[in-house]
Structure 1
Amino acid sequence: MTRLVSVILVLICQNGLSIQTCRECVCCRDGTNNCDSNRNCVYGCIDGYYGSKCTAECLENCKTCVNSFGCTECKPGYFTYECNLSCGNGCLNNTCSVLSGECPCKSTNFVHGKCDACSGLMYGDECNYSCPSNCGNCISDTECEWCKNTIYHGSYCQYRCSVGCIGGRCDKRNGHCTAGCNPGFIGDKCDTCSPGLYAPYCDLNCKENCKACFGATNCTACKSGFYGETCTNTCPFGCKGNCSFADGRCLECKLGLFGEFCNITCKDGTYGEDCSELCRNKDVNCQVCTLNELGGYGGCTQCHRGYHPVIFNNYNHSICKSCPKNCNGNICDNAGLCEDGCVRGKWGDTCTDNCKPNCVECNQRDGKCFQCTNDTFSDDCLQKCSANCNMTDNDRVCARDTGTCLHGCNTVEKYGEYCDNQCSNACINKSCIWKTGQCLEGCEMDFYGLFCNNSCSNSCLSHTSKRTCDGIKGHCSFGCKAGFHGKRCDNICSSLCVNTTCNQTTAECLYGCIDGFKGPKCAEADLKGYYTRSTLIGSTIGTFLAGGIIVGIAALITFIVWRRRNIQTKQLEVHGYENTIGPCGNLSYDDTHENDSPVTYEDLKSRDERLYSQITTSQQETPPATDYVNYSS
């Protein structure tokens, strides 16, 4: 037992599971028997322990040692004198030099030497993943340590430095040019052209009045006093300084002027130096007018409903013109475009285009129909509704988008979404519900079901001028023909029933079972009634015949016995013997008389008794007539 405990302790120590020093002799190499009389280990210690008695434990990662502050060999994966540094992840078999940490690498993806870093453009614990293409070195696929040639920026060097950076170089973190901008560029990233320049290298001049541009005809900002994409439009004279680049609205008005374009000096409907002039006197449909450069009538800027301002060739100012006649509600904007849609049958910005034929109303933008004439459908209203669809006053015949009938079919003999299906001929008057096809007035004679598509069973009893079965479930109205049962009389009575006849509801045999079976439905074998009626009749006749034969034989035997007795009696009388009748009715002879002749009577008697016994046995083997009666019925 002590030896077993010692072995267990050695194993615990060898596997690094012990939290205490080993006892004397327990941790000796090659077992406890290698300990001398002084309890010193003869062949040294097991891994992890030192001392003459192997009771002291080495440093944590030491495999072997001779003292408490240094190792002679490290456990796999560690190096240095104290075994306190890990070998590189790429070391083959996780083993490295105890002094330098160098090792052969498990693959060429690691840096030769300590195999603790990835070589080339690889990353990962096993250095088996490639860095993003623009990385000089990386930690992962989304984080580069630095970018190639410093001409990229972003977390994984996904962006190229601006062409405006001197030398094309920028800071990896934010893309700011590290050496400044090339001529013609401005901004931290040198990605914007200097005012008045454009093109990829900011070396072309914008148009005359452009302050900044994307191209020869695409200004992004204008010099003071101009607006528009090409900066060729002059801001209104009432603007103080600049106006909106998009539409010329004044950012600030000169003294005494107001309005979006700084062209109004009077309240709506008036103009002039003292605002005494009425706009309507110049244009009856003008609601708001403006001044010209000389302070006179400058034209209408806002018209009454149904009109919009427009400049004609023979006018130097705007006048009010009627909105396009097909604008819905006669409403249009200042540009003369219909704002509230078109009247029916028209489409387009000015509602001058006609909707397609059969199209009552169409989309103002693209002309697609969303209301067709009553008998057409589809986006272009060119498809006809089914001729079988029911028509109603002022209502559509079919759905505009699908063409399905909206108000049923125009005849009760049709059904379906498009009224293109024929009702069943078995429906009364061939009429059915238009949505489902179910018969509307029930079924014709000898048919049943919601769709009258089932025939009554041929096994149903019929009745003159009346339905053979009900029109819903097909149940026979007057019962079943002989030999059938069930609500629809579609089940055949058991062939074990007499005359194959049974109860229509329960299927029980009405006249009993054929020979050899019993039970309400004659489904059970009748072992007692093995003999059939024909067998019973035959057996009865046989019994009577056998009985007659036996009686005849008995009479014949009786006659023979009687005759022989008479002959024997006479013979005895002749010879002087006395005879008596015994208790069994047999002849009894006096022993005093000596009979030297054969006793033929006894021989005859014995033979007759054997014959009688055989006949009786034959009668007992034939069953009595009562055994043929089938009580199971």
Structure 2
Amino acid sequence: MVERVFDMNLITFNLVVNILSFVKLTEAQCYKNGTCVCHCADCSSGCQSCSPGWSGSTENFCQKANTLYQFYSMNSENINVLDGNSNTYEESKDSSPFIRVHLKESKVISRLDITIQLVAGNEYSVYVKDNKYATEDDLKCNTFTYNGVGTIQTIPFVCKQPLEGKYIQIVTSLTSTLRVYEIEQFECTNGSFGYNCSDICPNSCSGQCNKVTGRCACNTGFWGTHCNKTCPMRCKAKLCDSASGDCVDCVPGNYGLGCNGQCSPGCQDICNTTSGSCQCKQGFHSADCSQQCIENCNNRFCLQESGFCASCIPGKYGNFCNANCLGDCDGNCVQTTGLCGNCAKGKYGFYCNETCHKNCEGNICDRATGKCSDCVKKAYGLYCNETCPRNCDGDICDRVTGRCKQCKIGYMGDTCLENCPDHCKECSQDGYKCNRCEDGWYGVKCETRCQESCGGNTTCDIDSGWCHVCSVGYFGNFCEQKCSDNCDASYMCDKITGNCRSCKAGKRGPFCAESCSEHCRNLSCSMNESCINGCEDGWFGPQCKYKCNYALRSCAKCKFIDDDDEPVCIQCSDAWFLNGSKCSECPRNCSLCLSDSKCHECKNNHFYGKTCNLPCNAACRNKTCDITGQCTLECENSKYGTKCDQDCPVGCRSCRNALLCLSCEDGFNKNCERCDNNVTCRKAL
């Protein structure tokens, strides 16, 4: 390797030169008046030599630029190959020698001029890449094989295709020393052209010229030697060939050199700008889609090249679907032969021109033989042309043999033409067993009568003969046992156990053999002895066995609030009153009271007052009065008034008031006037 010493001032200068060089390449350097921008080492007294990085004709002020001059990255190795000095070099002596330079940015490379020490028999390959270590073939610019005598030469490497990358790497095929002096890429400045960039673009160019041929590059929308002709209006983006005026591309819908041709309306999208060919819309064909598919094509869809229908409408066949199908088809027929893929319903045969038998289920039969897949009701046979026997249940029989699948009620046999045995309402098809007997019969063939004790002698179990229902008053499997006489006749007893469903009044228990409690009201109790209508007054408990006044003193009527509690009195005996849930004694002479301070009735009606502590007036007949003291009967002892406390007039034995006597004393006449001589008078009427 050649030893290198970096000078920061030199590096800074080189960066400035590179930037200025880039500006000079992108701007015009030579003008129509024949002058060019100077890139010479000294521009003050004519051009004797070119500045570093520049070459070409000194007469044209060095217009050939080396675009790789000092175009290396700050951290690149092997920078001597980009210093513009052919006296310095980079060298590699490894077993697989290579020299790689890192550009300061990615660059498009089409050609490289490489000054190199050539070794006979060696192959030199140049790579342009973005990955430092990649060596794939598609990154290889080109290869040069040298078979001469060892020498230093500048070799042009023209890339097979433009490559873009930030690394340039040179590799040899032999284990030898690889020495590279310079890697260069040349380009003329804008306004100059030719091998040595010694020519200036013609004055007639309105834009720049080609840097190799000098041919003018026209501005957009113009063409011709002097770029004074306008591109056809149908050129896309107004771009046309600067020499011929042919459009580079056409606006959508046009084609041809001048884009004068219009794409067919049948094109799916835009057409080819050269030929006018396109992908067709549905319903069109030919290269330019100018031909319509015939109407017999299904959905008007045909092949673009031939116009053949992709498929036909129902009933047609052939390439153009112009022939009728050869038969009565279900939908389409085969497009190439015209034969039906499937026959229409009700048809069969090679050409589907035969008719299935009318009794084929669904009007469907075998395509080849015409045999029915299945038969409608009442029909059987391969072609369903036979009628099922009349007694087949549901009019259904085996479609091959005609045997009934099941007989109507009352018939048996394969064809159901035989009657079931006597008393058999429904039997097995082979007649071996009856499934249902007439009322009053049972057995395998309904040959035995049910027991007479079966309810109404109607029905019994077909296998055992056990009665389904018993006559009133009987129970048991054969209704041979009599219900208890104490069962309520309206409900009788259970058919299996004989238990009474309900008892006659006063009876209880499963067979109603026991009596209800004598204190049940109306002697009515349930099967478990509970009194249904409650207890007689003065008794309590579920079976009314307990007397109220045993548990509650002087209680005439009581009841349970809760079965676990003691009874509660709801009515007391005479001369007692309800005090909460118990009875308290009324005042002494009370026969009925609601408290100990107020009587409602007095004993024997001989007393009165709030507490019955006052005797009735002795003049009250039988000494009886109500609680207010008013006599309840007539007055005696010549008294009158509500309480018999007033005296009748003299001579009256009884009176209604002070003026009206009802009877007179002895010795008084009818007017209760004293009789003469003390004679007894006749009683007043």
TM bucket normalised to smaller: under 0.3
Higher RCO, 1 vs 2 (CA within 8 Å, ≥6 residues apart): 2
TM-score by length of 1: 0.25
Q: Which has the higher strand share?
A: 2
Q: Which has the higher helix share?
A: 1
TM-score by length of 2: 0.24
